[in-house]
Structure 1
Amino acid sequence: MSDTQITDSRYSWMRLGLTLAVATIANVGMWAIIVIMPSVEAEFSAGRAEAAMPYTLTMIGFALGNFILGRVVDRFGVTTALIGAACGIAGGFAVATLSTSIFMLSAAQLLVGFASAVGFGPLIADISHWFVRRRGIAVALVASGNYLSGAIWPTVLAEMLQTTGWRSVYLFMAGVTLAGVIPLALALRRRVPDATHAAAQATSLLNARSSGLSPRALQYLLGLAGIGCCVAMSMPQVHIVSYSVDLGFGPTAGAQMLALMLMGGVGSRIVSGLLADRLGGVKTLLIGSSLQTLALFLYLPSGGLTSLYLVSLVFGLSQGGIVPSYALIVREYMPAREAGARVGFVMMATILGMALGGWLSGAIYDFSGSYRLAFVNGIAWNGMNIAIMLWLLSRSRPRPARLVPA
């Protein structure tokens, strides 16, 4: 196969499959801590807020890792980034098993979260180089690796936790990460040809000029939009279990609602990817954000168990494709050779938005005594995201990505 025929090729699809496998393993770092949290709380006699600290540090590390490891991918390639991150994940898990306090565990989780980020934004940026006609669905599938990891590993690890304890679970995952990620990383050594980069660069330059914004200014604008959409997204995702308990339905029903969101999110990401291949990232993001706003409105009058299940599914179906759409917009408007850093920055902003929104919704609940104002707050933040996308769409008409002639 010649370099000029590499995009959307059989190799591209094979690489997509390998990348999805890596994402499913590497993202375990952000889910494993949730599984062991009750055991950690009991062992260290920690309060609920203190026991949540390792998860908070995990997400801070995950946010920073998306940006920094994205830069590593730009400079050294995805294989180097993956091997280093696999060692970081395994090392973080190993150090965590030596923890004698919740603070030591939190420090180890910061490393685990940072390294686990390689399975999200950096992999999304890398796979985007290997597709032109089907870039939307390729990005969506790799982004779904995060949800697949959340669907697979907690069940596996929970069963092991009951018989061996959380330290054994972490040592097991350290071994799985090294044994799974490193061989797959070596299979991804091939680099994107210069001709492919040049064609993508020319298209993104025209789009950037049509928007009247520099790449840096557009990056910051997308980051602000990402914070807005994810503050809104975090309200149901972070607080649905607590909301269910407040309404008298119990934590099990809330966990099932969360599972419905994640299942709907996988479907949404795939459908949004197919849609983005026709409409582009900005329009696809607008559709997802508008539907997310509608779902948040539907939560306000929903107080029955059945209605909450249905609205949670609708919410998952609406929001899953939003975050991958940001990566597509970056690829449409920004230099191809800087995709890892640019995508990583915007992914970092969305994760920080989730963290901010989760805390802000709790603070509003403490102030008002209910989640009603928290839903309204999410709708307002999502409105900011929609306004930014409408403004960007009004200023430019994204050109389709150019195929490199064979």
Structure 2
Amino acid sequence: MQTSVLDSRYSWGRLALSLLIGLIGNVGMWVVIMVMPDIQAEFDLERAEASYPYVWTMVGFALGNYLIGLLVDRYGIVRVLSGMSLVMAAGFALAAVTPTFFIVSVLHLLIGLGTAASFGPLIADISLWFERRRGIAIAIIASANYLSGAFWPVVLSGHLASDGWRGVYMVLALIIAVSVPPLTLLLRRRLPLSEMSAAVAQGAAAGGIGGLSPRQIALILGVAGIACCVAMAMPQVHIVALCVDLGFGPAVGAEMLSLMLLGGVASRLISGLLADQLGGIPTLLIGSALQMLALFLYLPFDGLVSLYVVSTIFGLAQGGIVPSYAVIVRELMPAKEAGRWVGFVMMSTIVGMAFGGWLSGVIYDISGSYQLAFWNGIVWNLGNIFIITYIFLSARRERQTAQA
């Protein structure tokens, strides 16, 4: 009898390699946050204007998660991931030598597109190689995004202080171009046809929720993803700028961001274990409720020690939210369309991050502080909880009807 490759030693080895690629490839999402104060100072910008490179990055990241997911479903992960890593390296190199802020901002679209290949498409790819431990596997590969955010700001902070944001971008262009394409060649093995056929049959057997089609489920999840990530963006995007405003400096802000993201890694791993036991929908609902509670903690505290503590708590609260969406997609939709629908839902969460990052900057410019921006995040988070509660109750009624 042929041994299944799912949950095998090869699956875990592939997961480890994908984690390394994600650690490198996700840098594009985080370095733009780190350099935002320097870009604002160099071009003499308002806070909302200084957020434009981040917005362009997240637009590229959002589009890339969906469009690149379609390409991966058709051509496989290797060629697509290699090509997009070179696109990202080109974006960094060109931005580093461009004197015009508008062009610098637009070039972040390339950085976002390249970064996207190391997030949603990698999550979708690794989800195909696991069945019993799919939740924790997705959580681990999704943690590459946060590990990247915790690792690179600390590593690059000294280089940023000495050579500026342009020097940091040139170094990253070189690192990405020489490391990611060779590593992707080790992912050439494709899922056996027999395993894919079984996964397709399993996905077809999943009843979905309320008789909704995969497209309708994805749209509902997409709206929920936007809502939760508008809330998530406030601390993640603006924590460095908040620390600069309070007089603590960008290095302290980078440390808080790293603590937040390390807490997010722990949260993602715990959520992965929960998802294997409870399912993706209850795990997402728990994470969304905890994130809203953590946002409330930012309102009364602005001291140095308290912000370190609250940022860590926020990371521990919200880290498991995004990978839970991928688990839900794999529970409710066909495996052969994993790249498309995981990519679409990841795209929606990134749209929420981009919009939330920009909106928080606008609210800051109008009000002169981040207090209203935190309240804005809380309201959006409450909307996410309503949507996920609807999905949870609909799925439970579907199960009860099937049992009856």
1:359: how far off? 2.7
Question: In the alignment, which residue of structure 1 is the partner of 2:172?
Answer: 173
Identity %: 59
Which residue number in structure 2 is paired with residue 403 of structure 1?
A: none
CA deviations 1:147-190 (Å, max 9, x no partner) are 22222223333334455565554343233223211121111011
Distance in 1 of aligned mates of 2:138 and 2:243: 33
Q: Secondary structure at the match of 1:5?
A: coil
Q: 1:177-192 maps to which residues of 2 (within 5 A)? A: 177-192=176-191
Q: Which residue of 2 aligns with 1:233?
A: 232
**Structure 1 pair 61–20 and aligned structure 2 pair: CA distance change class (3 A):** same
Question: What is residue 194 of structure 2 aligned with on the other side?
Answer: 195
Q: How far is 1:194 from its partner?
A: 2.4
Letter paired with 2:24: I
Give 1:347's aligned amino acid: M
Q: Is the 8 A contact 1:25 1:177 kept in 2?
A: yes
1:335 corresponds to which letter in structure 2?
P
2:274 alignment counterpart: 275
Bigger mean CA deviation after superposition, 15-24 or 194-203: 194-203
Q: Distance in 2 between matches of 1:157 and 1:244?
A: 18
Which sits farther off after the overlay, 274-283 or 40-49?
A: 40-49
Partner of 2:98: 99
Answer whether contact 1:3 1:193 (CA < 8 A) is retained. Answer: no
Gaps of 5+ in 2: 400-404
Q: Which residue of 1 aligns with 2:322?
A: 323
- 1:396 is paired with a residue whose SS is helix
TM-score (norm 1): 0.89
Hey, what's the Cα distance between the residues in 2 that align with 1:203 and 1:266? 30
Distance, in Å, in 1 between the alignment partners of 2:176 and 2:127 is 24
Q: Distance in 1 between matches of 2:141 and 2:255?
A: 24
In 2 relative to 1, CA 35–341 (structure 1 residues): closer, same or farther, beyond 3 Å? same
Unaligned runs of 5+ in 1: 401-406
Q: 1:234, CA displacement in angstroms?
A: 1.6
| Residue aligning to 1:291 | 290
- Matching residue of 1:404: none
Whether the 8 Å CA contact 1:207–1:399 is kept in 2: the answer is no
Q: What is the TM-score normalised by the length of structure 2?
A: 0.89
1:398–1:176 CA distance, 2 compared to 1 (3 A): farther
* Change in 2 beyond 3 A, CA 1:275/1:222: same
Q: Give the C-alpha shift of residue 40 in structure 1.
A: 4.9
Q: CA deviation at 1:191?
A: 1.1
2:270 aligned counterpart, secondary structure: helix
3-state secondary structure, aligned to 2:187: coil
Shift in alpha-carbon separation, 1:380–1:20, aligned structure 2, 3 A = same
Q: Distance in 2 between matches of 1:156 and 1:310?
A: 22
Amino acid at match of 2:328: I
Which secondary structure state, in structure 2, belongs to the residue aligned with residue 187 of structure 1? helix
**Is contact 1:264-1:316 (8 Å) kept?**
yes
Q: In 2, Cα distance between the equivalents of 1:104 and 1:129?
A: 39
Separation of aligned partners in 1, 2:210 and 2:194: 25
Distance in 1 (alpha carbons) for counterparts of 2:159 and 2:223 = 41
Corresponding residue for residue 17 of structure 1 = 16
- Say if 2:144 is the partner of 1:155: no
Task: Name 2:402's counterpart in structure 1.
Answer: none
How many residues were matched structurally? Answer: 399
* Separation (CA, whole Å) in 1 of partners of 2:362 and 2:392: 34
Find the aligned partners of 2:92 and 2:2 in 1 and give their Cα distance: 40
Work out whether residues 149 and 258 of structure 2, in 8 Å CA contact, stay in contact via their aligned partners in 1.
Answer: no
Deviation digits for residues 105-143 of structure 1 (CA, Å, limit 9, x no counterpart): 223221121111101111011000001111111111111
> What is the CA–CA distance in structure 2 between the aligned matches of 1:285 and 1:138, rounded to whole Å?
16
